[in-house]
Amino acid sequence: MVSESLLRRFYPDDTRNGTVAFYSWVRQHVGPTTELLNLGAGPPTRTAIRIFKGEVARVVGADIDPIVLDNDELDDAVLIEDGLLPLPDQAFDAIVSDFTFEHVQDPAGFLAEAHRVLRPGGSFFFRTPNRRHYTATIARLTPHWFHILVANRARNLPSDTHEPWRTFYRMNSAEVLERAAAAAGFRDLELKMFEAEPSYLVFATVPFLAGVAYERIANRFDALARYRASIFGRLIR
């Protein structure tokens, strides 16, 4: 396991922290009057920067997993059944979906429902893996049982962390996202490619250092942006 001192040697602050970067961007566009939908909310995160309850007017969580119903970081929670959100049309000013797109089996239906519940001019923020990145490539080429076995251990997550959900990677490139967003009726799409610190590789020093080298190169050259780890996106209705 990579020591804290080695980790901080290369990443002394939050500059390459993807969670900080993503949620800081979202917070530029939400406020005390925002009605917010957390789409794919899952269980409680216990991470302050990811919690909007008490900061916005109302935050509703939606997921296909009943675990969302016990998420105390939400004001309300609903289950997605048969791909449909049990929520009224144009009910939200903003939607946040964090590492959810890779789990979506039906991108067209998923985006159509998001478009339906979002108010005109509202923003749908998402963060998802880029299928061109080495971590997503490995994930796509390995079976789900392997993800269950190693994913949480590789990230040094607590033993009671929920096991990984099944992935499909059907909406994980800029080209696919652009087509899907237009087909769903969104009028604009803003994308940012982000290469974060290699948190998946903290299980051993040599892979971690290789990840650091990749991160430095990918962030140095704009021509390599399409190979960065995460896609941050903002869809505007």
Domain extents for the chain?
4-236
pLDDT class of 143 with cuts at 50, 70, 90? confident
pLDDT per residue as tens digits for the range 193-211: 999 999 989 989 999 999 9
Question: What is the pLDDT at residue 151?
Answer: 67
User: In this predicted model, which residue has the larger pLDDT, 161 or 4?
Assistant: 4
Four-way CATH pick for 4-236: 3.30.200.20, 3.40.50.150, 3.30.2320.80, 3.40.50.300:
3.40.50.150
CB contact at 8 A, 59 and 115: no
Tell me the pTM. 0.92
pLDDT per residue as tens digits for the range 6-38: 999 999 999 999 999 999 999 999 999 999 999
